[in-house]
């Protein structure tokens, strides 16, 4: 069996974390929410949940949505950023609940900080909340709590946050949907000769050097380097991870059907110490 052409095992995954980047939720020209895309996302995730799988959404976008809602071109202070996060998070959750309820599902909001994960009791409480929500058939929607974050307690991007959540809830698949098809040997936005890498068995130093600081999006905070960090966390925790393009959220079913979408990072489980990783962030 040629493993490059066989991803049939992805259909057997039972707990899936899906990370949605900011640029995946908004119109690129205006920064306003792309409602048809969010509706498709809700339909796709509902069908995945209806198939018997647990699903978590880690959703970026609160700050950019709040910024657009208030007509702000630039954010000049942490206070402005936190205010926009508070405004945008309400709008995002309102829409998620609206679209998911149309398909008969409830959503729940979980806002996390690095401090939550570092504190043993808080971490256990968060895990227990996730488990109870799964049992109730609810879709947890996670974001970093930008309204209270400081440099010391922030994850910094939702790529790594989604990987930490993957480890926390013992998910067996993490899907990062962003504005890039997957991993390349160089930035494809700058180098037309960059080669696509369909599968990664081992994340080594050579691979990490391919990581760039930006994907070319003006809305997100995570570039390829953060996605590779997420892959290290997720695969160490026993989950496969896929980076795929978010242009059409129907790609979620293609991924779970085992089609060749994006870059697959195969799980390399070993004893993963979340505390050690978080303290080094």
271 CB contacts (<8 Å, ≥6 apart)? none
Residue scoring higher pLDDT (276 or 82): 82
Residues paired with residue 184 on neighbouring β-strands, in sequence order: 196
Strands 240-245 and 263-265: antiparallel
Nearest to 154 by CA among 201, 85, 243: 85
Q: What percent of the chain has pLDDT over 90?
A: 52
Domain boundaries, the chain: 9-280
The pLDDT tens digits for 43-73 are 999 999 999 999 999 998 888 888 888 888 8
Whose tokens are 């995002």? That residue is 92
243 vs 231: CA distance, rounded Å: 9
**Which of 226-241 are b and which e, b meaning 16 or more Cβ less than 10 Å from the residue's Cβ?**
bbbbbbbbbbbbbbbb
* Predicted confidence (pLDDT) at residue 217 exceeds the cutoff of 80: no
Nearest to 63 by CA among 47, 51, 45, 75: 75
Helix (H, G, I), strand (E, B) or coil at 273: coil
What pLDDT does residue 240 have? 96
* Predicted confidence (pLDDT) at residue 162 exceeds the cutoff of 50: yes
* Predicted confidence (pLDDT) at residue 2 exceeds the cutoff of 70: no
- Can you state the angle between helices 78-102 and 35-50, rounded to 10 degrees? 60
Instruction: Report the range out of 82-91, 156-165, 186-195, 234-243 with the highest average pLDDT.
Output: 234-243
Residues paired with residue 244 on neighbouring β-strands, in sequence order: 177
Q: Which CATH class is domain 9-280?
A: alpha beta
pTM for this model (two decimals): 0.89
33 vs 184: CA distance, rounded Å: 29
Q: Which uninterrupted H or E stretch holds 20?
A: strand 15-20
């Amino acid at each position: 069996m040629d493993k490059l052409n066989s991803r049939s095992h992805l259909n057997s995954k039972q707990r899936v974390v899906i990370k949605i980047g900011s640029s995946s939720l908004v119109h690129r020209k205006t920064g306003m929410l792309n409602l048809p895309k969010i509706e498709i996302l809700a339909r796709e995730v509902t069908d995945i949940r209806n198939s018997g799988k647990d699903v978590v959404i880690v959703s970026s976008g609160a700050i950019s949505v709040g910024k657009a809602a208030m007509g702000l071109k630039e954010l000049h202070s942490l206070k402005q950023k936190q205010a926009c996060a508070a405004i945008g998070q309400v709008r995002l959750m309102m829409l998620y609940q609206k679209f998911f309820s149309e398909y008969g599902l409830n959503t729940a909001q979980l806002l996390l900080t690095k401090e939550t994960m570092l504190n043993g009791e808080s971490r256990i409480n968060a895990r227990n909340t996730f488990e109870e929500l799964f049992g109730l058939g609810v879709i947890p929607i996670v974001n970093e709590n930008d309204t209270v974050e400081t440099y010391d307690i922030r994850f910094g991007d939702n790529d790594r946050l989604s990987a930490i959540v993957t480890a926390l809830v013992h998910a067996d698949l993490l899907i990062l949907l962003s504005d890039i098809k997957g991993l390349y040997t160089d930035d494809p936005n700058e180098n037309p000769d960059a080669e696509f890498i369909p599968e990664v068995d081992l994340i080594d130093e050579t691979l990490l050097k391919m990581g760039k600081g930006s994907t070319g999006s003006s809305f997100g905070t995570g570039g390829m380097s953060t996605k590779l960090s997420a892959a290290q966390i997720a695969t160490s925790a026993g989950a496969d991870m896929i980076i795929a393009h978010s242009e059409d959220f129907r790609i979620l079913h293609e991924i779970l059907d085992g089609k060749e979408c994006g870059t697959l990072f195969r799980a390399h489980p070993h004893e993963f110490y979340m505390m050690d990783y978080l303290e080094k962030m």
